[in-house]
Structure 1
Amino acid sequence: MPLLASHVSSVPASGIRRIHELALQLDGVLSLAIGEPDVPVAPHVLEAGSAAWLADETGYTANGGIPELRAAIREKLRDRNGIEVDLERIWATNGATQALHLAMSLTLSPGDEVLLPDPGYTTFPMNARMLHAEPVPYPLRPHAGFLPDLDELERLVGERTRAIVVNSPSNPLGAVFPREVLEQLLAFAARHDLWVISDEVYEAFTYGIPHTSLAALDTEDRVFSVFSVSKTYALTGARVGYLVTPPGFAPVLRVYQEATISCLNTPAQRAAVAALRGDQSHVTEAAAHYRGNLDAAVALLGERSIPCLDPSGAFYLWIDMSHAAEGDVAGWAERFLLSERVSVAPGSAFGRAGEGWIRVCAATSRDVLLEGLSRLPAPR
């Protein structure tokens, strides 16, 4: 049998998926590992998608998305993100996952290095390895509030560094980068002539700190912005994300989209238009639900003397379980699942700096969340 490409074995597997698949084989599991919104989709969004199916809107669309979707995204970027762009800079993608891969495909050559947050989302290094590029983690440490250390970034950047990935609000941390930190990161990118890939999937969920889009601060056309309707509107399975590029990429993107996905399915695009242009009260209610869950969870963990980051964004809890994990949080998470029937994501799935920590999704019923957290072993 012919050999697979040499880089295939370097692509790391997902430590979250391993836990989730094990949990699916068990009965009575409290599922806190997967970032799946528990709120219902707004009726007007479901109606728009259903109407498109019933009208047989099932043909090909333009590579970048139907005109109505691109226009709705442009309006949203202007009104909510402070970003003014023309339609040719907006590309509908198969979720934010494809948007991230597309941005890295456009900016990284084989052997190039990309600076990635650690802890950071699992597909960041997976994408880099799939493109024959080298992921270089930049640590986000507890003593710094899980914000980037600019001095450390200066030590990590090298001749082969081509891009930096920034994720705010952060998955898995729930940290939100203040505007001044984002300005410092842009200045750093300018000093070293780097592309910036900004993952803003959890933009709708911040608590006490306003979300700032990097592209709204960008004066040098170096930012690729990644967004999604998945988390904001509880449409994870619809697979609608979008990539906002610097000017001039439209000819290349038509080729890349045609060669990878051609286009998104039309009913999902119609649903996304309704989500972006329609009543936003469901988003406001979801944010209040997640914040309430997070507050209750942080209070419970505090009562049990289990350290965690009080999140300012997203819907995750980043919990220090080093007292129980004994240097192998992935192994501990498996044993905890088998013994206590609670699935949590091991922090090591998000990078080396995540060892000893776990990520818990708070987008569930409060009773399930608090019951799951009550089964965590407390420090002695």
Structure 2
Amino acid sequence: MPELAQHVRDVPVNQIREITEAAWSTPGAIVLSIGEPGFPLSRHVLDAGIACLDRDETNYTPNAGIPALREAFAARFRAQQHVEVGAERVYVVDGAQQGLHFVMSMLLSPGDEILIPNPGYPTFAMTSRLLHASPVEYPLYPHNDFQPHIEDIEALITPRTKVLMLNSPSNPLGAVISEEATRRLVDLAVEHDLWIISDECYEAFTFDVSHVSPARFDSDVPGKARVFTSLTLSKTYGLTGLRIGALICPPGLEKTMNNVMESIVSCVASPSQYAALAALTGPQDYVKSAREHYRVNRDAASTILAEKGIPYLGAQGAFYLWADVSHASEGDVRAWTRRFLAASKVAFAPGTAFGSIGEGWIRIALCGAKEELLDGVSRLPARV
């Protein structure tokens, strides 16, 4: 049998899936290792997808998505970020992960470097390696509340650097990059002529701070604009299995986007698109109740961590808590999460799933039932 390509053989195990699949195989386990919204979908969203099937609207759609959905994404972005984005710059994608592969395939040639956060979501590195590019990690340190430090990033820029990857609100950290820091990061990209990919999967969920997209500070002149914005409805409306998101591209790249979209996925399934349209244009009760649920869970779980003396990062967004269990993990948090699952029947994502700086930390998902979350967190060993 011929060998697989080297870059495929080198793809590491996703430690989030590793611990989660172990938990799913453990009877009675509390699974706090994966970010899966726990609410039923809104009825009007389900009805829109079903109606699409009932009328047999199951043919190809335009590469970039049905026009009404593109406009709905654009309208929401205009309203929230005060950026003049037209529907012609919106490309409907098969979930945010496909969108990230899409945009990286446009921007990265073999040997190019992409700056990614450490800790950061693991597929940033996985996807770039699959494209024969080199991920270069910029550090997010505990002493700086895991915020990006401009000088640390600039020190890593080389002639091979092509892309700066940003993620706010952050998965796994729950950190939100401030408006001023966001502006400075865009200025840095302009100074060094870098593209920016902004992963904004959790933009709907911030607590007492505002989410500010780098697109606010981007040029609107073709040839000077540099920010690609990645959005998803998986988290915002709980549509994880429908695989629906959007990429907003800089002006002037529309034709190229269309060509690349055709070669990667052609178009997104029409029932998912009509369900997404209903989510964006219909009642927003789901988003409001989900945000409040995550806030309540965050506060309740934080109280338990504080009572146990376990340091944690106060989450400003997303639906995760980032907690320091180095007093118990003995320098190998990945192995510790497996032992803890076996002994206590609770699964947390090990911090090393997100980079080397995550050693000693765990990510706690806040999106499930409050009672189960508090039960799971209460089983953590106290820091003496």
Tell me the TM-score range normalised by the shorter chain: over 0.9
In structure 2, the partner of 1:118 is 118
**Distance in 1 separating the partners of 2:100 and 2:382:** 37
**Cα displacement string for residues 327-370 of structure 1 (whole angstroms, at most 9, x for unaligned residues):** 11000001111111111100000011111100010001111000
In structure 2, the partner of 1:216 is 216
SS in 2 for 1:31: strand
Q: Which amino acid aligns with 2:346?
A: V
In structure 2, the partner of 1:62 is 62
How far has the Cα of 1:188 moved from its partner? 0.9
- Note if contact 1:94-1:241 (Cα within 8 Å) is conserved in structure 2: yes
Q: Which amino acid aligns with 2:382?
A: A
1:1-380 to 2 correspondence within 5 Å? 1-219=1-219, 220-380=224-384
Give unpaired runs (5+ residues) of structure 2. Answer: none
SS in 1 for 2:92: strand
Higher mean Cα deviation, 183-192 or 40-49?
A: 40-49
**Distance in 2 separating the partners of 1:207 and 1:244:** 25
**Distance in 1 separating the partners of 2:254 and 2:226:** 15
Q: Which amino acid aligns with 1:192?
A: H
**Cα displacement string for residues 29-78 of structure 1 (whole angstroms, at most 9, x for unaligned residues):** 10100100112211211111111111111111011101111111111111
How far has the Cα of 1:10 moved from its partner? 2.6
Q: Which amino acid aligns with 1:47?
A: D
**Distance in 2 separating the partners of 1:344 and 1:50:** 35
**Distance in 2 separating the partners of 1:323 and 1:346:** 14
**Distance in 1 separating the partners of 2:263 and 2:108:** 18
**Distance in 2 separating the partners of 1:2 and 1:364:** 44
- Note if contact 1:329-1:355 (Cα within 8 Å) is conserved in structure 2: yes
How far has the Cα of 1:88 moved from its partner? 2.4
**Distance in 2 separating the partners of 1:303 and 1:313:** 22
**Cα displacement string for residues 287-323 of structure 1 (whole angstroms, at most 9, x for unaligned residues):** 0010000000101110110111110000001010111
SS in 1 for 2:260: helix
**Cα displacement string for residues 124-149 of structure 1 (whole angstroms, at most 9, x for unaligned residues):** 00011001000000111111111111
TM-score by length of 1: 0.98
How far has the Cα of 1:255 moved from its partner? 2.1
Give unpaired runs (5+ residues) of structure 1. Answer: none
- Note if contact 1:203-1:211 (Cα within 8 Å) is conserved in structure 2: yes
**Distance in 1 separating the partners of 2:122 and 2:83:** 28
**Cα displacement string for residues 143-165 of structure 1 (whole angstroms, at most 9, x for unaligned residues):** 11111111111211111100110
**Distance in 2 separating the partners of 1:267 and 1:317:** 34
**Distance in 2 separating the partners of 1:132 and 1:249:** 23
Q: Which amino acid aligns with 1:189?
A: A
- Note if contact 2:102-2:264 (Cα within 8 Å) is conserved in structure 1: no
Q: Which amino acid aligns with 2:3?
A: L
SS in 2 for 1:206: coil
Q: Which amino acid aligns with 2:80?
A: R
TM-score by length of 2: 0.97
How far has the Cα of 1:214 moved from its partner? 1.0
- Note if contact 1:96-1:201 (Cα within 8 Å) is conserved in structure 2: yes
**Distance in 1 separating the partners of 2:42 and 2:228:** 29
- Note if contact 1:12-1:125 (Cα within 8 Å) is conserved in structure 2: no
Report the count of equivalent residues. Answer: 380
- Note if contact 1:32-1:361 (Cα within 8 Å) is conserved in structure 2: yes
Q: Which amino acid aligns with 2:203?
A: E
How far has the Cα of 1:250 moved from its partner? 2.0
- Note if contact 1:83-1:216 (Cα within 8 Å) is conserved in structure 2: yes
Higher mean Cα deviation, 6-15 or 145-154?
A: 6-15
Q: Which amino acid aligns with 1:89?
A: R
SS in 1 for 2:176: coil
**Distance in 2 separating the partners of 1:268 and 1:20:** 26
Q: Identical aligned pairs, as a percentage?
A: 51
Q: Which amino acid aligns with 2:187?
A: A
SS in 2 for 1:331: helix
How far has the Cα of 1:13 moved from its partner? 2.0
